[in-house]
Chains A and B, each alone.
Chain A
Amino acid sequence: MKYLSTVLAIINKDLLHELKSREIVVSMLLFSVLTVVVFSFIFEPGSEFKNEVAGGILWMSFVFAGILGLNKSMMSEITGGNFSALLLAPVDRSAIFFGKAASNFLFITLVEIFTIPLFMVLYNVNIFANGFMPAVIFVLGTYGFSILGTLFSIISVNTRTREVMLPLLLLPVIVPVILASVQALNVYILGHDPADADKWLKLLGSFDIIFTVVVFAVFDFIVED
């Protein structure tokens, strides 16, 4: 119970912080929409080929915007030493981690909620034409991204090259998340048999579970100064 209330207190604080500063979501949103717009220059307007790459472009925009947001989100903890203060609090330290990961998850989801309709208009693609399963893909993919992204952002803000280190560490490790999310999304965009998406959803689910457990196991060790 105490665990959950710690997680909620951190989410609550992060949302409040974001409402006041608007540092994270706005910059992420601008960046993701911009990526979507810029990527549209790689093919002829109205070409059939675009349906095959649309899912990939959408995910790439979330991944790059997400990395931007993760960096910003962790910087607000580091400046002023708040992260140390959180570790000093009489709470389970992994609850602090999952609170931060949940906040990041919410921020990225918010960006997705605004980007997706705009994307569907700009690319003339309805990703929900074959049911609302794509929403599940976004949730599972974003969770996997947030959980490792939050851990790696804690690591990267402690390095000399803060902004560069996060994508270098995170991108190769989340290859399965990107691959599975894009492939599963393509199944729905292209109207293939939904059963084709099953294994990708299972892969996403397994990735999420495995790394939740792994992070839970190592977090205490790596933050203890």
Chain B
Amino acid sequence: MLKKIFSVKSLDILMVSFITIALYIALVSAPSEKVMGAVQRIFYFHVASAWIAFFAFFITFVFSILFLIKQDYRFDDIAESSAEIGILFCTIVLITGPIWARPIWGVWWTWDPRLTTTTILWFIYAGYIMLRKFIEEADKRAKFAAAIGIIGFIDVPIVFFSIRWWRTIHPNVVQKGGGGLHPDMLNAMLFAIFAFSLLYLAMMIKRVTIASLNRKIDSLGENHE
């Protein structure tokens, strides 16, 4: 037990220091973008959040399938935890996106395929989390949520393609900046993604622990009846 606490603690310390370094790199050491200036620095955390959000929903998808096959409620806890953390990072993407877009493109919002897909994604998993809140029986909650976790994730690429085709019909008002990233910028981005992955892992461990404790509390309540 003590050993477990110690290792969780050390992961936390590692995570906090990496996030601090990532902040320093993104805000100070990475070179300024010539055209966009300082606001472009939000890019590092924007991309890292997007990566974590997608990864988190992928984990929900995988553990939803595993739950349906194995009926092990630990998988349900993981799927639920990952969806919650995913929607948190998805929200960060949807907030940092407009902050970046406003000074560069002159609009807060654009129906760009990536941004739009992320929005739809947000709604799919908001539905997933709401559904879980509104079902009393643990087994039904886990099964139905798993169905949404699977269908929602399979739907994402289809949503993306449909929106991309839709946007090419109409003239594309704004284009994302050129592809070539300065190597220092690329490194800063990769480091941010790595730091955020650690953050995801640390949050997952805590969230899954809470989920399994909740399950224990529920079972205690049942025995009292």
Contacts and interface: CB of A to CB of B under 8 A. Distances in A.
Chain B interface bracket (under 10, 10 to 19, 20 to 34, 35 or more) = 20 to 34
Interface in B120-137: 120, 123-124, 126-127, 130-131, 134-136
A176 B151 CA distance: 13
A169 B140 CA distance: 16
B131 A165 contact: yes
B154 A199 contact: no
Nearest to B67: A221
Contact of A218 (B130, B150, B155): B150
A169 B127 contact: yes
Interface in B144-167: 144, 146-148, 150-152, 154-155, 158-159, 161-163, 165-166
Nearest to A219: B147
A133 B177 CA distance: 40
A172 B143 contact: no
A214 B150 contact: yes
A2 interface: no
A169 B128 CA distance: 7
Interface of B: 68-69, 120, 123-124, 126-127, 130-131, 134-136, 139-140, 143-144, 146-148, 150-152, 154-155, 158-159, 161-163, 165-166, 169
B147 A173 contact: no
Q: Is the interface of A mostly helix, strand, loop or mixed?
A: helix
Interface residues of A, number: 33
Contact of B144 (A155, A196, A200, A210): A155
Interface stretch (A7-15, A76-84, A106-114, A156-164): A156-164
Contact of B146 (A176, A211, A222): A222
Given A158-B140, A160-B135, A225-B139, 10 more contacts: A155-B147, A158-B144, A159-B131, A159-B135, A172-B124, A172-B152, A183-B169, A210-B158, A221-B69, A221-B143
A222 B155 contact: no
B144 A179 contact: no
Contacts of A179: 162-163, 166
Q: Is the interface of B mostly helix, strand, loop or mixed?
A: helix
Interface in A41-57: none
14 contacts: A155-B148, A156-B131, A159-B135, A160-B135, A161-B134, A172-B123, A173-B151, A175-B163, A176-B155, A183-B165, A199-B165, A203-B158, A203-B161, A211-B151
A140 to B, nearest CB: 13
Contacts of B127: 165, 168-169, 172
A180 B148 CA distance: 22
B105 to A, nearest CB: 23
Interface of A: 148, 151, 155-156, 158-161, 165, 168-169, 171-173, 175-176, 179-180, 183, 196, 199-200, 203, 206-207, 210-211, 214-215, 218, 221-222, 225
Contacts of B134: 159-161, 165
Contacts of B135: 158-160
Nearest to A215: B151
Contact of B147 (A151, A165, A176, A210): A151
Contact of A173 (B69, B124, B166): B124
Most chain B CB atoms below 10 A, which of A148, A180, A206, A221: A221
A176 B140 CA distance: 28
B166 A222 contact: no
A151 B162 CA distance: 22
Contacts of B140: 158
Contacts of B130: 165, 168
A206 B158 contact: yes
A105 to B, nearest CB: 18
